[in-house]
Amino acid sequence: MIYFLIVNYYSTDLILKLINSIQKTNYFDYKVIIINNSPDDNSIDNIKTESLLIFDAGANLGFGCACNLGLKWIYIQDPQAYVWLINPDTYLIENTLDKIKPFFELHPEVSIVGTIIYTPVGEVWFAGGRFISKTGAILNQDLLTNIDTAYATCDWVSGCSLIINLRKFSACPLFDPAYFLYYEDFDFCRYNANQGHLIVVTKQFSVIHQISSITNRNMFIKMKHSTYSYLLTLEKYTDSTIQILRLAKLLCYAFVLIAIKPQVAFGKISGVLLYWRRSLRF
């Protein structure tokens, strides 16, 4: 069984487009699980069907914690399932669902696979992630265009479109609840890679991503959460020297932006303050 796991935050129209693209594949052995992070959004209840379940988170839990609700439920129902985490602002472009089970049967070593992600005009938006621990660089790198193999190994894949093979896990895989938004996919991949799981990216499955159609609604909040999560990630996966250098660069850039992009600048500064407050508590 394939479970699509979607986190909703005032995105009913986008989710309808995604659901329609799934239904057009003419594949029937799937369920759609929606975690509703916007409980006052009553419109999401109108799309409920037998193959589409909606769970009310009760509040905006953030992406990772909302995914955890869905992952726990799915793992109890079917610990052998394939879980496709997919953003509301994406949609499928071809019938690839019947290829998922054969892919994992041919490549049983794979635990987590990221799909290639395109923009609406056909440009590659994501095709693999690299991490350089010595510098703290988290890179989006095209690892697929020039290869003929089924997949490419990588350090991380985007949570925008990520498939988990649950049968590879002895317990339900979960996101770190310390992340509210951004970099939780990187952390999820690095944590599980450190546990011996293989992380790959493939072009056998693909989606179209309507870039930042959700998160760009409020640039201050976007920058606040992304900055906080980035600093948390540096703390977990780099040394103190890299953390200090990256923090100094981030603050310098934020102050430069104050005059021209104040929402971005103050969002970054707010994220730094949020991280510092967390550090003082520990």
Please tell me the total count of domains within the chain.
2
How much is the pLDDT for 69?
98
Range of the domain at 232: 218-281
Query: In this structure, are 274 and 146 located in the same domain?
Result: no
- Angle at which helix 63-77 crosses helix 184-194, to 10 degrees, equals 50
DSSP letter string over 106-155?
H-TTEEEEEEEEE-TTS-EEES-EEEETTTTEEEE---STT--SS-EE-S
**Residue 168 belongs to domain with CATH number:** 3.90.550.60
How much is the pLDDT for 48?
78
Query: In this structure, are 35 and 109 located in the same domain?
Result: yes
Of 190, 209, 228, the last residue of a domain is 209
How much is the pLDDT for 195?
97
CB 164 within 8 A of CB 111: yes
Please tell me the pTM assigned to this model.
Answer: 0.94
CA angle 28, 212, 154 (to 5 degrees): 70
Query: In this structure, are 149 and 253 located in the same domain?
Result: no
Of 209, 237, 254, the last residue of a domain is 209
Question: Which residue type sits at 15?
Answer: I
Buried b (16+ CB within 10 A) or exposed e, 204-229: ebbbbbebeebbeeebbbbbbbbbbb
Query: In this structure, are 146 and 224 located in the same domain?
Result: no
Residues 6+ apart with CB under 8 A from 172: 71, 72, 75, 79, 166
Query: In this structure, are 13 and 38 located in the same domain?
Result: yes
Query: In this structure, are 51 and 173 located in the same domain?
Result: yes
**Which of 23, 156, 167, 159 has the alpha carbon at shortest distance from 104?**
167
How much is the pLDDT for 217?
67
Query: In this structure, are 234 and 201 located in the same domain?
Result: no
Of 181, 209, 237, the last residue of a domain is 209
Query: In this structure, are 43 and 82 located in the same domain?
Result: yes
Q: 197: helix, coil or strand?
A: coil
pLDDT tens by residue, the chain, 282 residues: 999 999 999 999 999 999 999 988 877 789 999 999 998 888 888 887 777 999 999 999 999 999 999 999 999 999 999 999 999 999 998 778 889 999 999 999 999 999 999 999 999 999 999 999 999 999 999 999 889 999 999 999 999 999 999 999 999 999 999 999 999 999 999 999 999 999 999 999 999 998 755 556 688 999 999 999 999 999 999 999 999 999 999 999 999 999 999 999 999 999 999 999 987 776
Query: In this structure, are 179 and 223 located in the same domain?
Result: no
Task: List C-alpha distances in Å: 163 to 36, 101, 118, 184.
Answer: 20, 11, 16, 15
Query: In this structure, are 170 and 240 located in the same domain?
Result: no
Query: In this structure, are 43 and 79 located in the same domain?
Result: yes
How much is the pLDDT for 282?
61
How much is the pLDDT for 216?
62
CB 82 within 8 A of CB 166: yes
Buried b (16+ CB within 10 A) or exposed e, 257-274: beeeeeebbbbbbbbbeb
Query: In this structure, are 204 and 223 located in the same domain?
Result: no
